Amino acid sequence: MNTIEKDRAYLVQCYTTDPVVFTHGKGVCLYDENGKEYLDFSGQFSSDSLGHGNEEMIQAITDQMRKITNVTSCFPTEERASLAEKMVAITPDGLDYVMFGCTGSDANEFALKAAKYYQGGGKIISFRRGFHGSTAGSAAATGKSETIQESASISELLPGGFVHSAAPYCYRCDFGRTQGECGMECLHYLEQTILQEGGEKVAAIITEPVFAAGGVIVPPKGFLKGVRELCDKYHILLIFDEVVTGLGQTGTMFACEYEGVTPDILVTGKALTSGYIPGSAVVMRREIGEAMSKISLHGHTHSCYPLAMRAALKNIEIIERDNLVENSRIVGDYLHQKLLELKNEFPEIGDVRGRGLLQGFELTDQENGKDKWTLGQILYKTMLENGLVTELESRKNLGNVVVVLHPALIVTEQDIDRAAAVIRDSLKACQ
């Protein structure tokens, strides 16, 4: 059996796997078994800041392995103390206490627990196109319908007390309004939802500052500020899930800086360690952290895994030293412009959205006889065959097909030109 056959024979195929076996990577490129080169514009589910095969990361993790690899969260290490200090330094003022985890899902799980505990219970409001993870609480907060919610039997695992409000999705406004003339109806609806759930009885609102997996939905200016104001008005905690947007991905260290809105709890994961060792972090207001310090109701064996702590420290050091947040802003703008040019050329592209290096284009409903669902699948496969790895977000119950492009922060304008050429050729081939 070859690798793909063996994989299919023995592994639960929860993900729709692609027929490509990557064997190594360098920078923004991946290579398959036959030595074929691919530009990785998927960021591997947005977890890749520094690109593949970064020698400094490999060295730091190797050194850490020799120093100490495995101690449980019961023992402080120099690495976790230093990373906690660093997380407080790089997140907005007012966020002073840190908890570490292994994945974005368990970090969100902690954030939800902390909010509920601090508030003495209460509902959690999230948004319909948001994604927060695949553990019970984080999946319940996920508004973007996932298999776990769609399956009657599995959804019994989801806790109650989660309510989903309308996402600020201007391209397909839930209220049929046009951007700029809508009076931010989604915010009014959110306030109605809060009131419906008892106002101050709501514990927290959780949202991504840019809805990544829901189709790179960038809220209109003023939306996040409006959410903050509603939280203050009704004494609700605000949780920003920056698991995708954190660490420079959208052109600022954290996406919440764009509008100057500070949450009470900020969650980060994925690119925290640039994907070299899985790790996540929750940074919160001191009072919330101190309340959670009094109880022992959260933690995994490897919550403060020294290798992850070291990987995150080195990752942040490189991001700061090499001005990669600025690169994300500048090259991200360039990518956005290139996608707008493609939109002018191809009627199949209906909208181009994004901030920094988190960008996406949405396919129009019907063009040249091919429905957008089929086109999305064919386009994704054609781009892959042509050497460009992307992420496809396509769900009929959400009504959108979005090609997500999220290259590593080290990407250059030349890489963007190469990727744009592949998208152009692939779109032509699909026509």
Q: Which region among 90-98, 131-139, 224-232, 349-357 touches ligand PLP (by CB under 6 A)?
A: 131-139
Nearest approach in angstroms of CB 217 to ligand PLP is 12
Q: What is the length of the chain?
A: 431
Closer CB to ligand PLP, 38 or 240, in the complex: 240
Distances (CA, A) of 244 to 276, 310, 421: 15, 20, 26
Does position 131 interact with ligand PLP (CB under 6 A)? The reply is yes
Site for ligand PLP (CB under 6 A): which residue of 212, 230, 281, 401?
A: 212
Nearest approach in angstroms of CB 397 to ligand PLP is 18
Does position 223 interact with ligand PLP (CB under 6 A)? The reply is no
Q: Which residue has the tokens 């996402």?
A: 167
Closer CB to ligand PLP, 226 or 279, in the complex: 279
Query: x/- string (CB under 6 A) for ligand PLP, residues 245-264?
Result: --------------------
Residues 344-383 that bind ligand PLP (CB under 6 A): none
**Angle between helix 286-293 and 104-119 (nearest 10):** 90
Does position 132 interact with ligand PLP (CB under 6 A)? The reply is yes
- E strand map for 141-296: 162-165, 202-207, 237-241, 265-268, 280-284
Closest by alpha carbon to 276, among 83, 57, 87, 60?
Answer: 57
Nearest approach in angstroms of CB 420 to ligand PLP is 25
- E strand map for 42-101: 97-101
Quote the CA–CA distance of 294 and 308 in Å, as a whole number: 25
- Residue nearest to ligand PLP according to CB distances in the complex: 104
Binding residues for ligand PLP, rule CB under 6 A, total 16
Site for ligand PLP (CB under 6 A): which residue of 103, 165, 207, 249?
A: 103
Site for ligand PLP (CB under 6 A): which residue of 269, 279, 289, 360?
A: 269
Burial of residue 71 (CB within 10 Å: 0-12, 13-18, 19+) is middle
Does position 244 interact with ligand PLP (CB under 6 A)? The reply is yes
Quote the CA–CA distance of 376 and 363 in Å, as a whole number: 7
Q: Which region among 25-33, 74-82, 237-245, 338-346 touches ligand PLP (by CB under 6 A)?
A: 237-245
Does position 289 interact with ligand PLP (CB under 6 A)? The reply is no
Does position 49 interact with ligand PLP (CB under 6 A)? The reply is no
Find all residues with CB under 8 Å of 228, minimum gap 6, and list them: 238, 261, 262, 263
Quote the CA–CA distance of 77 and 54 in Å, as a whole number: 25
Nearest approach in angstroms of CB 103 to ligand PLP is 4
Neighbours of 73 (CB within 10 A): 18
Q: Which region among 126-134, 195-203, 217-225, 287-295 touches ligand PLP (by CB under 6 A)?
A: 126-134
Site for ligand PLP (CB under 6 A): which residue of 25, 43, 104, 376?
A: 104
Site for ligand PLP (CB under 6 A): which residue of 205, 210, 243, 404?
A: 243
The angle formed by the CA atoms of residues 3, 423 and 348, to the nearest 5 degrees, is 115
Q: Which two tokens stand for residue 381?
A: 């496969």
Nearest approach in angstroms of CB 239 to ligand PLP is 11
Nearest approach in angstroms of CB 240 to ligand PLP is 10
Find all residues with CB under 8 Å of 333, minimum gap 6, and list them: 251
**Angle between helix 306-321 and 78-90 (nearest 10):** 40
Closer CB to ligand PLP, 64 or 268, in the complex: 268
Site for ligand PLP (CB under 6 A): which residue of 42, 77, 108, 193?
A: 108
Closer CB to ligand PLP, 42 or 262, in the complex: 42
Site for ligand PLP (CB under 6 A): which residue of 40, 48, 197, 241?
A: 241
Are the CB atoms for 239 and 280 separated by under 8 Å? no
Burial of residue 104 (CB within 10 Å: 0-12, 13-18, 19+) is buried
Site for ligand PLP (CB under 6 A): which residue of 45, 189, 234, 334?
A: 45
The angle formed by the CA atoms of residues 334, 315 and 224, to the nearest 5 degrees, is 55
Q: Which region among 104-112, 181-189, 330-338, 367-375 touches ligand PLP (by CB under 6 A)?
A: 104-112
Does position 213 interact with ligand PLP (CB under 6 A)? The reply is yes
- E strand map for 277-329: 280-284
Quote the CA–CA distance of 86 and 246 in Å, as a whole number: 14
- 3-state SS, residue 224: helix
* Interaction site with ligand PLP (CB under 6 A): 45, 103-105, 108, 131-133, 208, 212-213, 241, 243-244, 269-270
